[in-house]
Amino acid sequence: MSKLTRISISIEDDVIRRFDAFSEKQGLPTRSEAIKQLISSALVQNEWRCGEVVAGVITIIYDHHKTLIVQRLLEIQHNFSDIVICSQHAHLDHDNCMENIIVKGEVCKVKEMHKTLLAIKGMKHTTLSMSTTGNAK
């Protein structure tokens, strides 16, 4: 278990009031937990800017009746097999499918794969959820 360090900060009343309301809406039990979550988020964003090895999930929504989309999706995943950890396919309804592709690799390679997937004609929605490998120094 990590050692805890106590810090003290000064914040204007209106800012802390808004922060407390935000924390409550997020379901965070304490100011400390809320600040820790915000710091962690900022550190992950920094990993993505600094070219670290990162992890993430690319989520895609598409109409599975469009067979060229399915073929192109598989082709791209194979072309990026060095960063694809796994993928999960879900049937949302009769027409729509969701694909979650878990990736781990250098930022530029992950972003390149995401950009390649965005370019597939006929995609309904594509997002990249950025995360960390947990190994940042």
Residues 67, 80: one domain?
yes
Could you read off the pLDDT of 31-88 as tens digits, one per residue? 888 888 888 888 877 777 767 899 999 999 999 888 799 999 999 999 999 999 999 9
Domain assignment present for 8: no
Domain assignment present for 1: no
Domain containing 57 equals 53-131
Give the count of domains, the chain: 2
Domain assignment present for 137: no
CATH of the domain at 87: 3.30.70.1150
Close Cβ partners of 76 (under 8 Å, ≥ 6 residues apart): 113, 116, 117, 120
Cα distance between residue 104 and residue 6, in whole Å:
33
Domain assignment present for 5: no
